[in-house]
Structure 1
Amino acid sequence: MFTLEQIKQAHDKVQTADDFTNYIQELINLGVKGYDTHVNDGRVAYYGENDYAVSTDKKYDEIKIAPMANKERFIEFLVMHQDGQTDYFTFCQQAAQSGIAKWRVDIIEMTCTYFDTAGAAIIIEKIPS
């Protein structure tokens, strides 16, 4: 079973969007099947086989999620972030402003899905392999 410390060590190597593919491979090697990032406070829940899960503590004070998703605006923020124009916390604030409540990385399907407050999928991205 994987630990938060192992995941942190893998995550600490991510400096650019290009590093993300290597990060995903390390998570696969650890046995992580996916993870959910909660935008309101930055908690991340990692899950694996047989309902095994570990979760981080909140990373920042709670931010309010807009009640309605604005897909077009979020896409603009996402592209900016993936281009390295914003830091992680700024991206989380922008996601919240756009009504994104969480995102789920599914390592089996190699997708990242962004959800609104009602749990509806707003955007599904394919993770490059």
Structure 2
Amino acid sequence: MFTVEQIKAAHSKVKSGADFPAYIQDLKKLGVTYYETFVADGHTDYYGANNYKTTSPAKYPDLAIAETSNEEQFKSDLKAHQEGKTNYPTFCSDSAKSGIEKWAVSMDKMTCTYFDISGTKILVENIPQ
């Protein structure tokens, strides 16, 4: 199965949101089937076949997640990130301010779903292949 170190190596190629589709392809090759990234501290739970799970450590000090989500602001911040206008730490900070608790990526569906703190789906995006 895959390791956090292998995932880190794949992630090291990501410089902006524009690199996200290639990163997903790299994770699929490693055997990742699903993952959830938590905005509060940046840790990610990665899942693979046969109930395999590994977790990355926190990436930064805790961010406060806004209690009320701001869908329009989040979509604007996400678009800027995907266009390479912001780096990952900025995107995470912006997401927290917009009330995004986590995002979940399904390799089977090739989707990235963003959730607010109450578990409501804020946005489901198709990942380019």
- 1:51 corresponding residue in structure 2: 51
Residue-by-residue CA offset, 1:96-119 (whole Å, 9 max, x unaligned): 110000001111100000000011
Q: TM-score, normalised by structure 2?
A: 0.95
CA distance in 2, matches of 1:58, 1:22: 23
CA distance in 2, matches of 1:44, 1:31: 15
CA distance in 2, matches of 1:64, 1:16: 23
1:4 aligns with 2:4: yes
CA distance in 1, matches of 2:92, 2:17: 16
Structure 2 letter corresponding to 1:46: Y
Residue-by-residue CA offset, 1:76-97 (whole Å, 9 max, x unaligned): 1111111111111111111011
Q: C-alpha root-mean-square deviation of aligned residues, in Å?
A: 1.1
Shift of residue 26 of structure 1? 1.6
- 1:80 corresponding residue in structure 2: 80
Structure 2 letter corresponding to 1:117: I
- 2:114 corresponding residue in structure 1: 114
Shift of residue 13 of structure 1? 1.6
Distance 1:113 1:2, change over 3 A: same
Which residues of structure 1 form unaligned runs of 5+?
none
Identity of aligned residues (%): 50
- 2:69 corresponding residue in structure 1: 69
| 2:100 partner SS | coil
| 2:119 partner SS | coil
Q: TM-score, normalised by structure 1?
A: 0.95
Question: How many corresponding residue pairs?
Answer: 129
